[in-house]
Amino acid sequence: MADILIIFHSQTGNTEKLAKAVAQGVEETANARARLLRAADTVAQDLKDCNAVIICSPEYFGYMAGAIKDFFDRTYEGLKDDAAVYKKPFGIVISAGNDGSFALSHIERICKGYRLKKVQEPLVCKGKATEEVLAKCRELGSTIAEGVNAGIF
């Protein structure tokens, strides 16, 4: 059973919709289950326990959401040398008004510090979540879950 952790923060609901679509994609995959957690409620053990993690953040002021950064701040020291996190697959979904590149690059850099493994191209979703965007989020969730189950990561 692939346990996929989806960590998100959302103030006005856009990123939450994307994160829920990612979770739906995971749940639609055989032998996979999604754990959807707000970043503020996520602790280091959650990252240790999952088989892959997908981080969903809005871009605020050219950066990731403060709650996502807070999650990294709270957990990095305890996890940076932890074998349970080494090469764990990760994906990223960014929700942005018109850019998203800054939030993305900072999250990617931090994920490198955790020694997580990039297994899918990140999604940067601009504006409201259209059906097309939600479908891409579902696909990201199912692709990562399938990859974990197939042992290809």
Ligand X SMILES: Cc1cc2nc3c(=O)[nH]c(=O)nc-3n(C[C@H](O)[C@H](O)[C@H](O)COP(=O)(O)O)c2cc1C
For residue 61, state whether it binds ligand X (rule: CB under 6 A): yes
The least CB distance from residue 95 to ligand X, in Å, is 4
Cβ-based nearer residue to ligand X, 31 or 130: 130
Instruction: Single out the residue of 31, 24, 25 nearest to residue 1, CA to CA.
Output: 31
Selected binder of ligand X within 42, 51, 75, 95 (CB under 6 A): 95
Contact 53, 47 (CB under 8 A): yes
Binders in 122-141 for ligand X, by CB under 6 A: none
Give how many residues touch ligand X by CB under 6 A: 18
Q: How far is CA 42 from CA 6, 37, 72, 84, 102, in A?
A: 10, 6, 10, 16, 23
Other C-beta atoms lying within 10 Å of the C-beta of residue 36 = 19
Binders in 10-39 for ligand X, by CB under 6 A: 10-16
Residues near ligand X (CB under 6 A): 10-16, 58-62, 95-100
